[in-house]
Amino acid sequence: MDQWHRHCRRRAGAKLKMLSDPRIARLVTLIAAALQPPAGAGRIVVALVFGAVCHAVFATGVLAMIVAMFFGLSESLGNVPWPWAALANAALIIQFPLVHSALLIGRGGRMLARLIPGPHGATLATTTYAIIAATQLLALFALWTPSGIVFWRADGSAFWAFTAAYAASWLLLLKASFDAGAEVQSGALGWMSLLARIRPVFPEMPTQGLFRLIRQPIYLAFALTLWTPPVWTPDQLALAVTFTAYCILAPRLKERRFAARYGARFDRYRAEVPYMLPKLTKDRSDAQ
């Protein structure tokens, strides 16, 4: 009986510790509020429709990306004749970073809140942003016109090694997204807040999990997915080079916003935590 009580206490302690994690506590609070929405049939319908569209498009876009890159962009639905296909593919690559970044800064962010007419545009902004980003990804990977050239295709043990690395990169991206705030990254914050009729509460500056090691784990993990597929084509190489450059440069704009928002707190964090590559050894001052 004493052993059972100790087991119960350990489980209760683990549960309390888990709920004290702000990453989980925010999700639990948001979901609990959304499960008991105040009256308002119109608002509830709008929230549920946006939620369904957001997560359906998000899942489809990410799945299209995972599958297309696994085959090195050698398989897709695009059939633009060459050489025009090169221009079409270039446009598909460029549209994602341009729109993705433009909607996060100043005027773009304000425009995002006005895209949905009526009183709910600002509340749904994060959901709208996720829908747009997922649609961009879906367009890129579904409409790509393959070159038909394959540089290299892994086989045997190399295939399994690259496949494992590719899967690990996606899992790392999933973990980094959770650490940054799953409700924001998935688009759930907007529609769930509208459903619960509450003001969207954004996560604080992320410093937990992978953010303890580097400041930009999402961009690093995304870059790793670009370089670990088991099939390599000129298409995949063009995508990997372009998007890796974006992953290295785009966070600079994000950090400017963080510096303006968090001031000295972000300055201390930036001084202690490296940008994208974790420290292999501790500083002597830390060791002492």
Per-residue model confidence as pLDDT tens for the chain (288 residues): 555 445 445 554 444 455 567 778 888 888 999 999 999 999 999 999 999 999 999 999 999 999 999 999 999 999 999 999 999 999 999 999 888 888 877 677 778 778 888 888 889 999 999 999 999 999 999 999 999 999 999 999 999 999 999 999 999 999 999 999 989 999 999 999 999 999 998 888 899 999 999 999 999 999 999 999 999 999 999 999 999 999 999 898 889 888 988 999 999 999 999 999 888 765 544 433
Q: Are 131 and 57 in contact (CB under 8 A)?
A: yes
pLDDT score of 164: 98
CA–CA gap between residue 72 and residue 224 (Å, rounded)? 14
Whether 108 contacts 100, CB under 8 Å? no
Q: Using alpha carbons, select from 54, 234, 66 the residue that is nearest to residue 145.
A: 234
What's the pLDDT at 57? 96
The distance in angstroms from the start CA to the end CA of the chain is 46
Rounded to whole angstroms, the Cα distance separating 66 from 228 reads 11
Q: Token pair for residue 66?
A: 């995972």
Could you give the CA distance from residue 236 to residue 225 in angstroms, rounded to a whole number?
11
**Model pLDDT, residue 1:** 52
Q: Tokens in use for 31?
A: 């979901």
For helices 188-196 and 22-34, the axis angle rounded to 10 degrees is 50
Helix/strand/coil percentages in the chain, nearest 5: 70, 0, 30
The reported pLDDT for the residue numbered 107 is 74
Long-range pairs of 81-87 with CB within 8 A, sequence gap ≥ 24: 82/145, 82/147, 85/145, 85/147
* pTM listed for this prediction: 0.86
